[in-house]
Structure 1
Amino acid sequence: MELEKFDSIEALTTTRFDWKCRLRLQYVVGEIRNVRANIKSTKTDSEKVLTKFDLCDERHTLAVTLFDDFGTQFEQTLRCCKDQQVFVIICAAKIGLYEGLPNLTNYSATRIYINPGHYSVRQLRERIAAMPRAKAGSPPVEEMNFPMLTVKQIQSLPPESSECKVNCKVRVTKVEENANWYYAICTKCPAEIVKENGVFNCINCKRIIPYPDKRFRVCTLCSDSTGTIAIIFLDEDVSRILEKTVFDVEVEMFEAKTEGQFPQQLKELQNEVYDITLNITADNLKKGSKVYEAFQILDKVESGGNFDPSGGKHSEMADAISVDLGDDNMNTPNTGISSTKTRPRVHIEPLPFDPKGASPAKAIKKENPEKTGFHATNLKIKVRVIRLWRGTTKKGEEFTSFNILLLDCKNSTIHAFIPAVCAYDLERQIMVGTVNIISDFIVQAYKDTDGFRSVRAANQLIFTKETKIQQVDEHGEAQEQAKFAITDGSSLWKVTFWDKFARLFVKAIWEKMETPVIIIIAGCRVQNFNNEVILTNVAGTKFYLNYDHHSVKHLRRMLKDPDFAKKVAANNISTKAELLTVQQIQSLDKEFIQQGPSNHFPHCFSLLAQKPYTIKLEINEININSKCTLYWATNICHGFKLECTEDKVEQTVTTNDTEATTSTVDLQGLSGLNCNSSAITKD
């Protein structure tokens, strides 16, 4: 067989174009990024499973595709590797072109080495570490410099003005009690729903809502020294001010037997001064509406302060209801041309609902570019990762993509989605409970068709390959911890003190005092960490070592009992292992065994004795063949029910047919039982 001839690389010139060469890749080294596993390809007759990833050395990126079992085994091995940066050396790979770009694939001689101790890997690590990186810093504080206006200035805004937000300082003169103080929304979509014919029906979801969610919407009259306007307080701000939800208020009204009345908690908003950011809409500017929505309500201002934006008037204002109109000397403009004329609202006539008729076409809304999703390359957030989860298919297989929940310093939460294309790289950088600075992500608004929302927010974050995540310390410096455990002989609790409080505790514990040291911890926080209950300190936490208290004296007297002291010693988290020889181990007696609290038999179980019971037993093969007298009770009831049991057995085993009956259940080893006998015997 004649071998095919190839040209050598040294003979290549620019005068000829029909060269034919054979190339073999000896080895290539790089960092693994962007892993995509379990990709099923059906381009050919047989289905193939592909595993794709990118090989990068911070200068160039090369695509790699592994086929079938080789790729599956590589992906499983890669999952066990917990390093954030994974470097590989690929030997004897096949070079090809895929979509016009170089691509490496495997064949029988291909070998991959993960994080080997090779000098080329060390050089690549050092080169990547030495490359300049952007310094991580906290994002700048968001500044919302909205103009500060008085009520009169807000009412006199020209109609040709654009929609905007303005600040004002006003006093809540009156809380409208005749208006509804909450509204109902759908539990699936954020649409407001009303009760029709006794049920809540969501038009968007086209389903009945048995018990809708509820949100605050409080109508108020607010004033300053220049006038009065109506402001609607929305749910987020009212919940924050009251520190309660609508359901909390309803429960308190039920307990106080004031259902159907206006909540007393909302009446407390009256006569308070707030710094409010108003949302000026087209209805306020062009349609003359004097009802404004509060975009944000800051903490209340002390009533003794001067909250007049003009700054030239006295801080005390006159009540809106006590203004003397006679001071105007009847010098007011004609009502017909007055700019403050109240314009009638359009009356909307309700239409009867016909379930059989065709639904009218919805009006086409203009797409808001702010809600279609934009790439936030200039945004940077500092958040804590508080949750991470993955979705599953109907077959129970987990998706490669995953979701996280982020919390910032203002206790605001937002959902972030990490797609499969960058899930491998970002999952190694994300740890639940850590604080991270995240940049270069996409902000996307929820659609009306989105059925799942983990938080009450209008937008979500979408991470991409360009998203940068850098973990930082919560306080900018390392935190000190003092960890120990306490026990009272019956249970053991772990305790962790932090920072300055931990230093005070360590300093106090090292002083000479009576042992064992008995501690009293007051005002601590109980929290669950890694499925363990841990006590930590807060601002009001105090500790007392060997304090002169009757509980300390009582516990110290109990410790003098050898049995109790042995039980306390058995509750230690870990004990130091002694080094023994084989002969010493063989000579150990029963005193060496640590007896825990499990030897105590509860007294309530002993009360079951000397009482009549009917017990349903499960008879296994070991009871018959091995004569085991230990049976498993599957049911138990008080009293004797033998007669009912026999009737039930006869009813299930007897038949009027003379022919033998067949059964689909094969009970091996039970064919010789006499069911009519009260004793378990064999024929």
Structure 2
Amino acid sequence: MIARHKFEFVDLSDLFALANAYEKPDSPDYSTYVIGVLVDFEHVWKIKTMYGLKDICKFRITDGRDSHKVTVWGNLVVTTDARVREVKAGFKDGEEEPIIVIASSTKLKIWKSSVQISTLPGSKIYINLDHDFVFAMRQRLREEGYVPSDKTTSSPTTTDVKEVVYVIETVTLKELSEKTSTDFLKMSFMCKVKVKFVEESDNWWYGSCNKRDCYEEVIKFEGKFKIVVLAEDDTEAFNFVLYDRVVKRLLGKTVTNLMAEDPASYPPPLKQIAGREITVKVELTDDNILVSSTVYYVVDAYECSVSTSPVLEDIDTGTSVSNYTNVTFIEEMITSGLGSMSAVRVQGCVVGYGNSENLKIWGFGCRGFAKH
């Protein structure tokens, strides 16, 4: 019999090292599966985001040794809340057992030296699933004498809307360049800029696949944007690298769209980004901190006409869509960089398009199937 569910879990003790190793924390190359005991559950409440009010619920996941915060977004909020209530209602007085939760295809991010786990459009939450992994964990917990926390569920505050606690600071470009302390490493900042110039390079796109093993045959190949622009405000002017997600948001088009329009020349829509006033979300890298580089990597961008207050630090994962099973990364432009990928630990691979220097910039490549 073919198993209905197949999981490849990452130990909770390994999550910090995994998240800390991401080259692009806002759009990591892997989604992650975790299993543990659900504790400190907070029922549904609303937060204000730049996309409007969003429902979320939160809990901590623990294996009896390590624990991490989990935020559930979108349609999963209601179903997760209902399932937890159902399980709790079935407990007899004094006979409460640990609630085992599996969170699939999640996004990891480090915030203030702790791991934050967030759901994506392709994520699923399983509560007390009838599965060997759940049975094995429950057995281990019994053998180790695990006792459920006194605070296993809680209600949100009495207010209908909870204000966002962590707001990304908006700074000038001069102030951004002055943030060279290691305390700012991997922190995000918002800057309002005007794009003055778009570098017209042959390497305005690169090819990627979603194969986990680079020796596998490539079935699906996808082009993604990477362009460099010069942008300024009243204080400074710096170069910014715009990744695929950012460019798609600004243009409303994909690489495939532009290649179909005119494959022989540099796409006019990219040139038209010059002159636009946008708000960029920048995450400071090792180069920005250690060698004071003023080339900044943009992880998100918005037209200046869009309100950016308040902005939740992990808002990328807060997209609300009507049917998660039909969402694709190309179609949905306000999800995280992983889009709707639901495979375990999916790795994106840069293949041999562009020159060798371009591949060095991205820092990884595929082996065995791409001809340069």
Common fold by TM > 0.5: no
TM-score range, shorter chain: 0.3 to 0.5
Could you tell me the TM-score, scaled by structure 2's length?
0.43
Tell which structure's C-alpha radius of gyration is larger.
1
Taking structure 1 as the reference length, the TM-score comes to 0.25
